[in-house]
Chains A and B, each alone.
Chain A
Amino acid sequence: MRFLLTRFAVAVGQLAVVLLAAFGLTALLPGDAAAVIGGERASAEELAVLRDQLGLDRPLPQRFGDWLGALFSGDLGRSLVTGVPVSTELAQRFASTAILTGLAMAVLFPLAAAVGVTSGLREGSRTDRLLSAVTVGLHAIPEFVLGLLVVAAFSVYTGLFPATTVGADGIGLLAQPAVLVLPVTVLLGAQLGDLARQVRIGVAAHSGSPSARHLRLLGLDERTVLLRHVLPNALAPLIQQSARTIEGLFSGALVVETLFSVRGLGTGFIEAVQNRDFPAVQGYVLVFAILIITVNLLGDLLAHRFTPQRERAAC
């Protein structure tokens, strides 16, 4: 119970930091936010209008309160570049990112389990060492490097898959599965290693454990021992790793979407940062941060549920 309370308190603290940071982005800009947003060519009247729009003449705490109030009623302001409400833009771009990361997850978990079990049951063998070298290598290469190498190999030199997703958008991506192959592969490459390694460690530890040996002596076949007894024990530590993995997929989406010109949350975020489109940046920061805080909170709570006894190091 105490764990639950502190963990929730940390999540609330994280949310507070995010809200303050997102608000501080416009409030604490060096100089005047209106001057930064308006650019060098803005006239004095235009700046005055901007200041009024942004409410820069009011005291800071009041501005924070107003901003929070608008936020809770779903009003994230309008993009400075397109004039479209930020919430509309977020909703439009959500589908592409959800398809990319969702598909990557759907392939990732079974693949990591297969790789982890294969190498965990043959710990120290040639297969084990080869698989671990490959997954460590894929994990180490930053997505943008891996992506370009993959595009060069499968698109430029062999023409097997398209190098960009231009022309397909949101749900339309699903209508052209070929465009998704390379982006999803790159997302997988970076995340497979950590997850497979956790499965491998768990399987290796539990398949040699006294209880597993006892079950084999009782005459249970290897399949039952593996699926019913070894895997469930090996999977508990995996929950927290899965939270990290999902977080990694979101970060990876920033890079992969840029590389393959996907119109998703990642590219939208980067465009907003490059254009210094502050209301949009705030929106993207909030969406990404809340997703990540939630995933981590769920991961920790589930992990705690499945491994209730924790050791505490103290004098």
Chain B
Amino acid sequence: MLRILLPAIPLVLAVFGPLLPLNAAPEADPLLGPENGHPLGTDALGRDVLALVFSGGTSVAGMTLAALLLAYLLGVPLGLFAASRRRRGTDEAVLRVLDILLAFPGLLVLMVLAAAGHREPATLIVAAAVLQLPAVTRIVRAAALAPGCRTAVEAMYLQGMPWWRIQFGYVARSALGPVATDAGTRLGIVLYLLASANFLGLGLPGSAPDWAVVIERNATALFSQPLAVLVPAALLAMLCVGANLTVDRYLARLR
């Protein structure tokens, strides 16, 4: 029950929250306590905390999903390509180039992008996706090596079936299991990266109604208006822990 509720509450807020007619504009006095017509008080910018709770999950959830989709959109063809080359040199070259990327922690790359003036959500999503590329490609390649060697593939090749039909129609389908498993763990990694980037001010602007940004704006007011920090922090924690525990349980069942 707990395992379902943990990720479900923040997810429901992220998906349906923005549909509610709540006003997250800075209109009231800053840092009011609860019971001033604001059930959770207001934040440092004078925004209703309850409204922020309902509207702040969409950005982080949406960006995470977009980055994951993009990572697999790029990584799956690249992994299949590396695995299907008969010459090991091409395969090796793809892996080594990606190894170079693997060296850099996500936050470091996002810091450099922010310093160069790139803080748009689109840049953040592309960067987060590219950072996952080495791992995704490796996993797809490893999963596609064995099915790519089967006689069925040899037969299709001899019949003159085009490369992409063999790869996407047959090999990719057999490699789906490990890739799905990887996507589960990667969800946590991307979520963590994007939330941390928003907290450090490397992504969304300081006025954005995003849980991580709200936490950053109000962190100094932890003593006077703790609700403005603790409620979004609790929701982010539930989302991250819930996603990880759900994936963990799913993986344990697979084994």
Contact = CB atoms under 8 A, between A and B. Distances in A.
Interface of A: 6, 9-10, 13-14, 17-18, 21, 25, 28-30, 36, 132-133, 136-137, 139-146, 148-149, 151-152, 156, 163, 247-248, 250-251, 254-255, 258-259, 269-270, 272-274, 276, 278, 281, 284-285, 288-289, 292-293, 296, 313-315
Contact of B196 (A18, A132, A255): A255
A273 B192 CA distance: 20
Contacts of B100: 10, 13-14, 17
B104 A149 contact: no
Contacts of B241: 136-137, 140-141
Nearest to B240: A140
B240 A29 contact: no
A140 B188 contact: yes
Interface stretch (B66-74, B165-173, B219-227): B219-227
A30 B123 CA distance: 15
Given A270-B200, A292-B103, A313 B115 contact: no
B89 interface: no
Given A145-B215, A151-B222, A140 B243 contact: yes
B149 interface: yes
A47 B105 CA distance: 35
A139 B149 CA distance: 38
A163 B222 contact: yes
B155 interface: no
A181 to B, nearest CB: 17
B117 A273 contact: no
A255 B146 CA distance: 42
Nearest to B86: A315
Contact of B233 (A148, A251, A270, A276): A148
Interface in B91-120: 96, 99-100, 103-108, 111-112, 114-117
Contact of A142 (B104, B201, B234, B236): B236
9 contacts: A136-B245, A141-B241, A142-B212, A143-B196, A144-B200, A149-B233, A152-B229, A281-B111, A288-B108
